[in-house]
Structure 1
Amino acid sequence: MCFSATASFSAGAALLIIGTVTVRRARRRAELPFALIPVLFGIQQLIEGAIRLTFPDKAPLLNTVLTVIYSVFSHVLWPIYVPIAVLLLEPIPWRRRVLLAIAFVGGAVGLYLLYFIVSLPIVSQVQGGHIAYVSPHFYAAVVMLLYVLGTCVSMLFSSHSRVRLFGLAAFVAFVGAYVFYAVWLISVWCFFAAVLSVIVLLHFPRRPPTSQLRSPAV
């Protein structure tokens, strides 16, 4: 996270462990994309920890490469990936239609932001002791609203209570990060969302031991 490399590395390692458990608990292939969310957040946090170590001017080329990779996660992956992952979990037709529409919107936002990442690369800087990602195109009101629609609001249309809980928590975290950490919004919100992704584990209950699944002998 923007606060320290240690925080990012610690969160990343913990999320990789939690994500591994979550993936192991998934019962169907359609559940895997949602189960992988903590793993992806874990990788993203490890990348940001590495970015932190490139300051001040210790490895400018590595900083540029890692910033681009981190930005692909934060700007492109999440608005596309989240609604699709939620859609694959959803059994109710009308909710699936809504999620499909949001997935198209998220895809458009992700591709729009990808264009700017390529044409006007995002720069990471230390400001006030925290990492700020200079990304003016992200802060356009319409873009930000559609981004939140894909990353947070999409989960509120799920019929699964734990998925909705994650969506609500992520939305509150986004608003809080915007109000209190606007300059460092991207870094702070991604960190909070990463930590909150442990809620994904709650969606996948622990499987009972094999012995409990067997019928008692007559």
Structure 2
Amino acid sequence: MCFSATASFVAGTALSATGAVTLAETKKKSDIPFASIPLLFGIQQFVEGAVWLSFQYSAQIFNHIATYAYLGLAYVLWPIFVPLSVGLLETDSHRKKILYGFQFVGLAVGLYLLYFILSNPVASQIVNKSIVYSMPSQYGVLLVGMYLLATCVSPLFSSHRIINILGVLATVSFSITYYFFTASYVSVWCFFAAVLSLVVYLYFMKGGNYQI
């Protein structure tokens, strides 16, 4: 998270607990990926807590490992996983076909970013009490746009209203975060997205019955 190791670990604990409860509410195998989103965000917050600790104890090798792990989750996992998990819940055949397109975009973005993470030096540093992750890549604006299509826009095409709300909140939070925390938006937005993933819990508490 953008504030401290303690905040990251507290958020990670809360999200992991919520994720465990959410997974317990699943009724079908196709529910499991979407239900696991809070748990995965919890793991991501624990990883960023480790990044914070690496600065505190000047552990360069530990920082290197934790930074790669965090970027793998933030840049590779989410653009692939979000449209896939939303698509698995979809029952409307037309919407499902549209979501296939988002899954293709997400896979392309995730694999492209994985290539750059593995083939280029990456780094993290503390700037203005936030963690800034740096990684060389090409097609910046296009890449961000495709990433947002996969992670934020794809939920808008679900027939489930709560999932639509998740997409709207994720898009709004990204816009606000990018405007106010441009340098560290990866860290800050991932924290807000993690909190928003609690909407996933509401989806299963409502039985997933609120459809458009």
Give TM-score, length-normalised by structure 1.
0.92
Give how far 1:138 is off: 7.5
1:79 paired with 2:97, answer no
The CA distance in 2 between the partners of 1:57 and 1:10, in whole Å, is 20
TM-aligned CA distance change 1:18 to 1:189, over 3 Å: same
RMSD: 1.4
The CA distance in 1 between the partners of 2:37 and 2:148, in whole Å, is 17
Unaligned residue ranges in structure 1 (runs of 5+): 208-218
Task: Answer whether contact 2:116 2:136 (CA < 8 A) is retained.
Answer: no
Q: Which residue of 2 aligns with 1:88?
A: 88
The CA distance in 2 between the partners of 1:189 and 1:63, in whole Å, is 21
Q: Which residue of 1 aligns with 2:107?
A: 107
The CA distance in 1 between the partners of 2:20 and 2:206, in whole Å, is 13
Task: Answer whether contact 1:68 1:121 (CA < 8 A) is retained.
Answer: no
Q: What pairs up with 1:1-218 in 2 under 5 angstroms?
A: 1-56=1-56, 58-137=58-137, 140-205=140-205
Structure 2 letter corresponding to 1:162: I
Moved more, 120-129 or 82-91: 120-129
Structure 1 letter corresponding to 2:116: F
Task: Answer whether contact 1:25 1:206 (CA < 8 A) is retained.
Answer: no
TM-aligned CA distance change 1:131 to 1:138, over 3 Å: farther
Structure 2 letter corresponding to 1:118: L
The CA distance in 1 between the partners of 2:80 and 2:18, in whole Å, is 23
> Percent identity between the aligned chains?
49
The superposition leaves residues 67-94 of structure 1 with CA deviations (integer Å, 9 ceiling, x where unpaired) of 0011000000000000000000000011
TM-aligned CA distance change 1:206 to 1:98, over 3 Å: closer
SS at match of 1:137: coil
The CA distance in 1 between the partners of 2:126 and 2:42, in whole Å, is 22
SS at match of 1:63: helix
The CA distance in 2 between the partners of 1:181 and 1:65, in whole Å, is 25
> Which structure has the larger Rg?
1
SS at match of 1:166: helix
Give TM-score, length-normalised by structure 2.
0.94
Give how far 1:136 is off: 4.2
Give how far 1:56 is off: 5.0
Task: Answer whether contact 2:5 2:50 (CA < 8 A) is retained.
Answer: yes
Give how far 1:137 is off: 2.2
The CA distance in 2 between the partners of 1:89 and 1:26, in whole Å, is 11
SS at match of 1:91: coil
SS at match of 1:27: coil
Unaligned residue ranges in structure 2 (runs of 5+): 208-212
Task: Answer whether contact 1:125 1:132 (CA < 8 A) is retained.
Answer: yes
Task: Answer whether contact 2:79 2:147 (CA < 8 A) is retained.
Answer: yes
TM-aligned CA distance change 1:195 to 1:139, over 3 Å: farther
